[in-house]
Chains A and B, each alone.
Chain A
Amino acid sequence: MSVNYLFFGIIAFYLIGAASAVILNKKDAICAYVSFLSAAMASLLGIIFSISIIFGDTFSYALSGGYLKFGFFIDRLSAFFILVISICVFAVSIYSTGYVREYFGKKNIGYLGFLYNIFIISMILVASADNAVMFLIVWELMSVVSYFLVVYEHEKPGTRKAGFIYIVMTHIGTGFILVSFLIFVGTSGSYNFETFAAAGKSMTPLLKDLAFIFALIGFGTKAGIVPLHIWLPYAHPEAPSNVSALMSGVMIKIAIFMIIRVSFDFLGASQAWWGYVVLALGTISAILGILYAVVESDIKRMLAFSSIENIGIILIGIGASMIFFAAGKPLLSAIAAIAALYHLLNHSIFKGLLFMGAGSILFSTHTKNIEDLGGLIKKMPKSAILILMGVLSICALPPFSGFISEWLTFQSLLLGFNLNNTFPMIILSISAAVLALTGALAAFCFLKFFGIGFLALPRSKHAEHAKEANTPMLIGMGIFASLSLLLGILPFYVLPLLEKIAASFTGNLDSFTFSNFGTFAIASGTTSLSTPAILGLVFIFMFGLSAIIFLIGRKRQPVYETWGCGQPVSTSRNEYTATAFSKPVQMWFKNLYRPARETETTYSTSPYLKESIKFESRIEQVIELHLYNPIVDFVMTTTRKAKIIQTGSIHAYLGYIFGTLVILFIFVIAGGNT
């Protein structure tokens, strides 16, 4: 019984947050604190609730209501996603109480608090819906509310276009989801998800494939899989940073949740080629996502592209799990699924941390362009350390959480070789190679972000006058930074939890063996990993080494100018810039980027005296240019042509009526006689 109270307690707290935001609208400070802290409180309840569900049994509760029957059904998988949501919301809410100070006086805080709370409730309801109608209502409510959050600062020029692309793409996605659900409704006759699962088994293979493809495209648009990703680099940077932390951290994961739900629970993941499609899409999204992130110099756009990359990595895990499930190996499928879920959890945390970091940079320097930053580690030391921890975990470096999930994904791809037929082996190894390249490029991209952004001398006035982020922001980021470290060091607490969840849809319970020192081995094999041991060793060596250095050799450390082959190098002019840093990668993949550059030279009096040279180089978004623009142009030209129908002359209009009458007559006469 306590579980019911807990669940409705969560919803109640969010509603209180939303209501208080509206009531206290006038007084910015109090309103910010009340609405966001009540969200934080609710997320704490959420964490307790979801863990009790994962280790307890499923929770279902039906609300009676005429034609629209709303009901909740939370099994282990949806409880996991409520857990992810709650963890993210907890830290981001605390962070937001500090971050929204930037909007005091300028923007309506009550409106932001209200939308923020409704946004979270809609996500939790999506994870716990038990019938198609309720699901679609809260799903689109989530997209609509996040649209309003994206266009919160709609005075900025680019925001409206970004918001429009976002809402239209999500609407197209919902269209596909609608068709896929309708195929289930068509066979089962009712809207309830249980009957979907039953209908899914009994459908003809063609209908199953259609349902799967439509669901994949629909949820893929929301997740940001490559061909459908173009809204993500527009929408996330425009939203306020605390919201884009939630959107990148959690909202795109809800789409992954539904892909798992549809392919495993509803359709039983019986077709092998589904797995290959998901794997291929994941691999392409990973590599293209990171390629565009590397050459991006706007922080939040870079983080948005890197979200596409991480979604790709998660999908590689899920694709592999579907391939193994179809090949009848539940153990391997469980391991791959655990790798995917672990990376999903890690990504929500370190991406949330990085977006909060970007927010604090924006908060203090009012610029998102890495080229203008520099030297922030001296001005914002505390947030620099926290962001460094985020960067280390996104580059999957050992003591941090990213390493564990990337290691697990590699191991699950390696398991492909127990399938003893050649096709999966080759596909999985190619995907492993691409994943490795993605990992290395991720390290490259985030090294550029941290190195150019935080180290050496500030490159602009903004960066010089930067000041440390306020305490709530630091607390929020601190929570996530410590979490990403803990998730890296103590996987043996997280893996049993994930084993239970993976078992709920792949059917295999114990896929890891745990031994002392926090090591875990893959399915009683010999490959094992123990990050506490690695961390211990690194620390021992570090302390040992620094002790030795401190004792032997000379102590003096004179400070002098940086070496510049003799000339004085005191300005930030000849520091490396972000574009220069990513130049090698741009040269390596130039036929993907198709870099376009224009130089304009304005001459003063004679052609020999150049007054000024303006240089501008741009990277082409290939997919957007060659896939989306032709379609939009086609639609526009046909609509322009179609407008001649309404020419204005009444005679033409009467002619239309006469024409339809004649056509119908022929239709009846011909139809009638036969």
Chain B
Amino acid sequence: MIPASGLVILQIIIILALSPLISGIIKKAKAFFQIRKGPSIFQPYYDMAKLLQKDSVVSQNVSWIFHAAPIISFAAVLTAGLLIPIYITQLPFGFAGDLIAVVYLFALARFFTALASLDAGSSFGGMGGSREMFVAAMVEPALMLAIFAVALNVGSTNLSYISQTIAGMGIDAISPYQILAFVALFIIAIAETGRIPVDNPSTHLELTMIHEAMILEYSGKQLVIVELGAMAKQLLVFSLLANIFFPWGIASANSGIATIAFALVFYILKIVIIGITMVAVETSTAKWRLFRLPELLSVSLMLSFLSLVAFIIVKGG
């Protein structure tokens, strides 16, 4: 039985420690699919260590927003982290917010990053900021409908309550509307974390990078925070996917150390599987043109709408 404060600190440590690892594993898997050796899974840790030693060069025409933005967005992502059940459904801060609050915390992070991108006054930043907000605008309706589909099944949008009830449901959690909602959320996750069809994370080519263009001006310590924030957000989005749709093996409220350890291992496994499927999707498609993205995201909108209608017909009707 771990005290509440212990749970919180454990959750923070897991998020901070695990996210670069997952990102390294994804890069490794990508290299594997492209039949090349690729950097070790701990490469992100080394990069961060190196960056901490470098000067953080700052453009001359920036204001305080440029310095405050990474801190605010990282803090917002971490707060969202505390609202999402990772390995245990009992969240000390679960009462503070629900799924919609998490979405809006991510929006706060994105808002400040985009704002900072405009601060340096270069056209790359402006282009990145405009495209990032454009993608976000396309994602929102689909995301909201997906939340409605999920919340419908359970009756409330409180995350710990959702994962608890769905975990309790056991096998019949896999129903048509859940699958439709999962696929919709998967497409949204691609857009949210800036994966291939929407945005190319690994390149610095101006035309294709959206997320990278925003953080072009950062260097040194500030770049570490921004990178860590991005990786943490990626981990949280994956854990959202995992713990809403396949929460089996998640530790229930105030369970012993053993169950928590087991739940942790099971959680890492789920996250890695999701990461690999994401990589599979990435390597099989090329990056889409920016103005074809509305089609992709209207697909996810339709999917979440169908899941809603399916639920109404099956249960509600």
On A, residues with C-beta under 8 Å from B are: 375, 377-378, 392, 395-398, 403, 406-407, 410-411, 414, 417, 420, 422, 425-426, 429, 432-437, 439-441, 443-444, 447-448, 450-452, 454-457, 515, 517, 519, 525-530, 533-534, 537-539, 541-542, 545-546, 549, 552-554, 556-564, 569, 572, 574-576, 580-585, 587-588
Contact = CB atoms under 8 A, between A and B. Distances in A.
A398 B137 CA distance: 17
Contacts of B221: 549, 552-554
Interface string B301-317: 10001001100110011
Given A455-B115, A587-B291, A441 B137 contact: yes
Contacts of A545: 71, 74-75, 225
A378 B119 CA distance: 11
B59 A562 contact: yes
A542 B75 contact: yes
A327 to B, nearest CB: 14
B141 A444 contact: no
B188 to A, nearest CB: 12
A574 B140 contact: no
A528 B122 contact: no
A417 B216 CA distance: 45
B34 interface: no
B120 interface: yes
Contacts of A429: 145, 148, 305, 308
Given A538-B76, A554-B55, A575-B123, A447 B115 contact: yes
Contacts of A534: 79, 96-97, 101, 105
Nearest to B122: A562
A426 B97 contact: no
Contact of B130 (A396, A433, A583): A583
Interface in B274-314: 290-291, 294, 301, 305, 308-309, 312-313
Contact of B134 (A529, A537, A546, A584): A584
B25 to A, nearest CB: 25
Nearest to A564: B122
A530 B95 contact: yes
Contacts, number: 257
A527 B98 contact: yes
A414 to B, nearest CB: 6
Contact of A417 (B53, B96, B111, B316): B316
Contact of B127 (A397, A422, A435, A576): A576
A588 B141 contact: no
Contacts of A414: 148, 151, 157
Interface string B204-229: 00000000000011001100110000
B135 to A, nearest CB: 9
B265 interface: no
Given A436-B144, A519-B95, 6 more contacts: A435-B144, A437-B137, A440-B139, A447-B133, A539-B75, A559-B58
B74 A456 contact: no
B305 A557 contact: no
A519 B101 CA distance: 13
Q: Is the interface of B mostly helix, strand, loop or mixed?
A: helix
A654 to B, nearest CB: 70
A526 B75 contact: no
B152 interface: yes
21 contacts: A396-B104, A411-B157, A414-B157, A425-B316, A433-B141, A433-B142, A437-B141, A444-B133, A450-B115, A451-B129, A456-B120, A456-B121, A528-B158, A533-B96, A537-B96, A546-B71, A553-B53, A558-B55, A560-B58, A576-B127, A585-B137
Contacts of A549: 71, 221, 225
Contacts of A396: 104
Contacts of B152: 417
A541 B98 CA distance: 19
A35 to B, nearest CB: 37
Interface stretch (B35-43, B60-68, B250-258): B60-68
B216 A563 contact: yes
A455 B119 contact: yes
Contacts of B84: none
Given A541-B75, A559-B60, A588 B294 contact: yes
Contacts of A557: 55-58, 220
Contacts of B118: 447, 451-452, 455-456, 576
B312 A422 contact: yes
Nearest to A536: B96
A572 B118 CA distance: 12
Contacts of A574: 122-123
Contact of B290 (A422, A450, A530, A584): A584
Contact of A436 (B78, B93, B101, B143): B143
A572 B145 contact: no
Contacts of B161: 526
A395 B97 CA distance: 18
B158 A563 contact: no
Contact of A397 (B104, B119, B148): B104
B136 A440 contact: yes
B85 interface: no
A398 B83 CA distance: 14
A575 to B, nearest CB: 5
Contacts of B138: 440, 588
B115 A451 contact: yes
Nearest to B79: A537
A398 to B, nearest CB: 5
Contacts of A581: 126, 129-130
A453 to B, nearest CB: 10
Nearest to A574: B123
B126 A575 contact: yes
Contacts of A392: 108, 111
Nearest to B49: A553
A355 B287 CA distance: 41
Contacts of B187: none
Contact of B79 (A378, A436, A541, A563): A541
Q: 5 tightest CB-CB pairs across the interface, nearest first?
A: A576-B126, A456-B121, A533-B96, A451-B118, A436-B144
A554 to B, nearest CB: 6
A392 to B, nearest CB: 8
A526 B59 contact: no
B74 A526 contact: no
B61 A457 contact: yes
Contacts of A411: 100, 157
Given A432-B145, A451-B115, A533 B93 contact: yes
Contact of A451 (B60, B114, B305, B309): B114
Contacts of B144: 410, 432-433, 435-436
B244 to A, nearest CB: 15
B107 interface: yes
A375 B61 contact: yes
B7 interface: no
Nearest to B228: A545
Nearest to B308: A429
A333 B136 CA distance: 31
B82 interface: yes
A640 to B, nearest CB: 46
A527 B57 contact: no
A588 B134 contact: yes
Contacts of B131: 584
Contacts of B140: 436-437, 439-440
A558 B105 CA distance: 32
A407 B101 CA distance: 8
Contact of B121 (A519, A562, A585, A587): A562
Contacts of A410: 100, 144
B72 interface: yes
Interface in B216-249: 216-217, 220-221, 224-225
Given A417-B152, A439-B140, A447-B115, A562 B120 contact: yes
Nearest to A541: B75
Contacts of A378: 63
Contacts of A398: 76, 101, 104-105, 108
